[in-house]
């Protein structure tokens, strides 16, 4: 039997035990509904369209905020790597804010921007920005000076050196910052969606909290949690892993595991 099949068997047994335990009445069904009912709830939410709509709302918030964080974080990272004053000020601030769990931005966002999309965006940007900034700074500082010297002898100057030498040379570092930024942004957005129940645009956090917990729909809570996990895994597998593998292949670093 191959590895995958074995692992699949273990999960099947666990799900079977969960289902059987429920049928035998070992625990309260309303607190831990059986997998069959969770699946049914998931299917219903999927076919009625509300789940996909919520995914769309959440992913669009995340996408916008992440892009802003990335586009602002990279140039600022270059700045702190190159200008001592920026490093002593902005760099220190970034380090501080990065240690702050990004959930902590939620109350501040509500007070500043109210129950609005801007609040959501703000929280995602704060989750992304500092990780990207610090990773870029670290990456730029780690570029071997010989690369820049070699490029200069070939006629490369300022902007060309920045875009064609320093940026690609620091890409492995920037990518790890992007992964971390994504993780922070994803977590903080869920928190924001739970606290800021925006009924107009219902995201996954809204479904989880307001539509699931408030009316005691435990099937829905579990179903949405599964979706959140699935999205996290998909982004890792479909976006970050391939990029990482391509980088490792080129640089000959690390182990490209599949």
**What minimum distance in Å lies between the beta carbon of 173 and another protein?**
13
Q: Determine if 168 is a binding residue for another protein (CB under 8 A).
A: yes
Helix (H, G, I), strand (E, B) or coil at 127: helix
**Position 175 contacts another protein (CB under 8 A):** no
Q: Which is nearer to another protein, 5 or 146 (CB)?
A: 146
Based on the shown chain and the rule CB under 8 A, indicate whether residue 255 belongs to the binding site for another protein: no
Map 26-80 to HEC letters: CCCCCCCCCHHHHHHHHHHHHHCCHHHHHHHHHHHHHHHHHHHHHHHHHHHHHHH
Contact predicate 126/96, CB 8 Å: no
Q: In the structure encoding, which two tokens stand for residue 227, read together?
A: 């979706």
With binding defined as CB under 8 A, does residue 162 bind another protein?
no
Residues 179-208 binding another protein (CB under 8 A) are: none
Position among 150, 233, 234, 239 found at the interface with another protein (CB under 8 A):
150
SS3 percent helix, strand, coil of the chain, rounded to 5, is 80, 0, 20
Stretch of 8-16, 96-104, 147-155, 174-182 lying at the interface with another protein (CB under 8 A) = 147-155
Q: Which of 36, 50, 87, 156 binds another protein (CB under 8 A)?
A: 156
| Measured CA distances, 203 to 36, 148, 212 (Å) | 24, 46, 12
Chain residues binding another protein by CB under 8 A are: 144, 146-147, 149-156, 160, 164-165, 168-169, 171, 249-253
């Amino acid at each position: 039997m191959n590895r995958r099949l074995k692992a699949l068997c273990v999960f099947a047994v666990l799900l079977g035990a969960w289902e059987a335990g429920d049928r035998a009445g070992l625990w309260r069904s309303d607190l831990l509904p059986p997998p069959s009912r969770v699946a049914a709830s998931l299917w219903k939410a999927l076919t009625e369209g509300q789940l996909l709509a919520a995914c769309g709302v959440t992913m669009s918030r995340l996408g916008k905020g992440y892009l802003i964080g990335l586009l602002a974080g990279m140039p600022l990272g270059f700045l702190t790597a190159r200008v001592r004053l920026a490093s002593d000020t902005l760099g220190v601030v970034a380090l501080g804010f990065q240690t702050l769990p990004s959930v902590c931005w939620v109350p501040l966002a509500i007070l500043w921007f109210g129950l609005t999309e801007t609040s959501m965006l703000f929280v995602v940007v704060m989750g992304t920005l500092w990780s990207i900034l610090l990773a870029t700074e670290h990456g730029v500082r780690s570029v071997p000076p010989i690369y820049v010297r070699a490029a200069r002898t070939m006629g490369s100057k300022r902007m060309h050196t920045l875009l064609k030498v320093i940026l690609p040379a620091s890409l492995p570092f920037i990518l790890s910052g992007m992964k971390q930024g994504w993780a922070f942004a994803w977590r903080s957005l869920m928190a924001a969606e739970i606290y800021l129940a925006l009924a107009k645009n219902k995201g996954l956090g809204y479904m989880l909290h307001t539509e699931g917990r408030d009316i005691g729909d435990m099937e829905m809570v579990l179903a949405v949690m599964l979706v959140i996990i699935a999205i996290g895994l998909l982004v890792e597998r479909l976006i970050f892993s391939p990029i990482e593998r391509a980088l490792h292949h080129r640089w000959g670093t690390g182990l490209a595991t599949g």
